Amino acid sequence: MTQADTINYRARQHDCANCPMKQRCCPNTPARKIARSIHESARDVARKIRNTERYEHSCRERRKVEMLFAHMKRILRLDRLRLRGLSGASDEFTLAAAVQNLRRLAERIAQGPPLQGIGVHA
């Protein structure tokens, strides 16, 4: 936090002197000083959102996408891929989706057709 991003709140020395929590709150100073960010209201909103079910769902979905990119770069050896800017990010996402879809298609072809409905009993 920089000086321009903070608002300093100071308690009056008279108020702190009579407070039973003085020794735990500000034992080495005559009064309490609190630096609060000007963006604290936005942080409060973010803290409220963090406790919702929709946020948890969003985190799980984002983690899945991140794992697909990690898999693409590590396992499929596309770790040198560095596409910059917004169009680069879009291209990287499209490429990752294509790679993952081709990988899944190859896995399904290798398994062969499903045996249901053919008359074969397992």
Q: What is the pLDDT of residues 29-76, one digit of tens each?
A: 888 888 888 888 999 999 999 999 999 999 998 888 788 777 777 776
Is the dihedral angle over the CA atoms 72, 73, 78, 82 positive or is it negative? positive
- 26 touches 16 (CB < 8 A): yes
Its pTM stands at 0.44
Structure token digits, residue 50: 């963090």
